[in-house]
Structure 1
C-alpha cells in the first residue's frame, strides 16, 4: 500500500506476514509529491522509477534489462530472501513487465519525462536574447543566483522553448526562443 504523509513524502507501507507490525519505507526509486497540500484532500502524484528498481540505466538494452531482472528476481524471491522481500519482488516483476515490451517501455519513458518536467524547480522564464552567446563554444549561458551557470548549446534550439538546469543547483529556467 502507498501513502503520502503530511509533508508530502511518498511511502510504501508493508505489513509483516508474521505479525501485525507495519513498516513504513521511503524507497530511493520512488518520487512523490502531493498535487494538493491540503490535509483534507491529498491526491498523490508519485512515479516509480522502474529503471532504478532494475538497477539499470535508461539507455540499457533489452538484454541488459533482462539480465538485471533475472539477477534481482533470484536475489529477492520470497522463498529465498525471506520476509520483507515480497514487495521488492513484486516491484521487480512489475518493472520487468513494463520495460521488456518496446511499446510499453516507450510509453513509460514518455510519461516519466513528463513527470520529471512537472517536478522541476522553475526559477525563471527568460528570452534567448537575455542569454550571453559564446561564439567559441557555440553556446548560450545565463547566470544562476547560486553563482552557477545555465548552459544551452546552439544545437538545442530546435523548439520554441527549452528548459535547462543549472550546473550547480536544482533550479531550472525556461528559455523562450523567438523565431
Structure 2
C-alpha cells in the first residue's frame, strides 16, 4: 500500500530518479541504476565513510523506494492516481462539471468539448486528450467507451484566459 508521504514531499518519485512521468520501464531502470550507484553508501565517493550524513542514506533509501513503486505497473498506476489526485486537490476549483454540461464542437482534429467560464472564455478538452485517459467520445459528445478499470475519473481544466479551474467529472454509465 502506498503512503501519502510519497506525494506530500517536495520531490515526486519521478524526480527522485530524474525521469519524466511518462518514462518507460527501461528508462526508469537505467535511471534507478545510475541513482543507486551515486547515492549508495558503499559506492558513493565520500572522504570519511564512517561519518556519512543521514541525508546521503536517506537519498539512497528514497531511490530504492522510488524503484520499488515505479518498477511494477500496478503500484506505479496507484502512485500516478494518488499523485494526480494530490495535484488536483491543491488547486482551487471554481466548479465541478460533467460532459453533459459541455457544448460540443467538431473540428478537423476531432471533437472539442467546451464549458463557458465566467470571464467569457472557455474550459476545454479534446477527444484526443480524453482518448489518452482511456475515454472515447463520439461526435455528439457522448462517452462511447471508458477504460474498464475506471469507475469515475476527473480532470482539472484551466480556463483559456483567466486563472479559474473547473473539474470535469466523468462517471462510468
Give TM-score scaled by structure 2 length. Answer: 0.57
Task: Name the Cα RMSD after superposition.
Answer: 3.7
Instruction: Kindly state the Cα deviation for residue 147 of structure 1 after the two structures are TM-superposed.
Output: 7.1
Structure 2 portions without partners, runs of 5+ = 47-52, 128-135, 147-151
- Greater helix share, structure number: 2
Tell me if the contact between 2:32 and 2:67 (Cα under 8 Å) persists in the aligned partners. Answer: yes
For the structure 1 residues 62 and 177, does the alpha-carbon distance in structure 2 shift closer, same or farther, using more than 3 Å as the test? closer
In the alignment, what sits opposite 1:124? 95
How many positions carry a matched residue from both structures?
138
The residue that corresponds to 2:132 in the other structure is none
User: Which residue of the other structure, out of 48, 51, 56, is the alignment partner of 1:85?
Assistant: 56
Distance in 1 (CA, whole Å) between partners of 2:72 and 2:98 is 40
CA deviation after TM superposition for structure 1 residue 62, in Å: 1.7
Check conservation: 1:140, 1:153, Cα contact below 8 A: yes
Per the TM alignment, residue 53 of structure 1 is displaced from its structure 2 partner at its CA by 1.0
Trace 1:28-39 onto structure 2 (pairs within 5 A). 32=8
- Cα distance in 2, alignment partners of residues 177 and 89 from structure 1: 39
Residue 153 (str. 1) matches residue 126 (str. 2): yes
Q: TM-score, normalised by structure 1?
A: 0.56
Q: Residues 25-44 of structure 1: CA distance to partner in whole angstroms, max 9, x if unpaired? A: xxxxx753xxxxxxxxxxxx
Task: Decide which of 158, 161, 166 is 1:173's aligned counterpart.
Answer: 166
Q: 1:54 and 1:148 mapped to 2: Cα distance?
A: 39
Instruction: Give the Å deviation of 1:113.
Output: 3.4
Report if the CA contact (8 A) 2:7-2:86 is conserved. no
